[in-house]
Amino acid sequence: MPTLHVNIDHVATVRQARRTVEPSPLEAVKLLEGTGVAGITIHLREDRRHINDNDAREVDSYLRESQMGLTFEMGATEEIRSRCLETKAKLATIVPEKREELTTEGGLDLISRKAYLKEFIKPIQANGTHISFFLDPIRNQIEAAREIGAEYI
């Protein structure tokens, strides 16, 4: 059965645009409790332009006591992977990141990074987190995702 996961990144975007402490991503998560939402998605970017480290810790901590699960969207960098490994995320979605884009605009090129990504995801999977790749719907990219070890795309 399909489940709904809500991405709360743009709650943090509004906070950043206002240059204040609100709205709070954690408060948005609390508002979703009991609504039937199965999971919360956060994207901790290298530049921390939306969700920041404190948001990630707060949301992860709250969701550990909740029926909702955490999806941790991330670029394929060592530093961000270490943050993911500190969470109890049920799913890690590896996405491309370009500093100049407002939001993710296209899929990962799995073909050119196959060996790297295959090794990159191993500690995440060993931590009990499932793997998803954000990719364009192109047959050879989908096949590469399977070969690398993705459980979802």
For residues 75-92, average pLDDT: 97
pLDDT tens across 87-115, in order? 999 999 999 976 665 555 678 999 999 99
Residue 82 is predicted with a pLDDT of: 98
Tokens of 101: 């884009």
The domains found in the chain, sorted by start residue, are 5-148 (3.20.20.70)
pLDDT band at residue 2 under the 50/70/90 scheme:
confident
Give, in order, the Cα–Cα distances in Å from 59 to each of 52, 69, 91, 97, 132: 11, 10, 14, 22, 20
pLDDT tens across 17-57, in order? 999 989 999 999 999 999 999 999 999 999 998 899 999 99
Residue 103 is predicted with a pLDDT of: 55
For residues 81-88, average pLDDT: 98
76 pLDDT above the threshold of 60: yes
Strands 91-94 and 5-7: unpaired
Residue 106 is predicted with a pLDDT of: 74
Residue 43 is predicted with a pLDDT of: 95
Do 104 and 76 contact (CB within 8 A), yes or no? no
- Which amino acid is located at 57 in the chain? R
Do 153 and 117 contact (CB within 8 A), yes or no? no
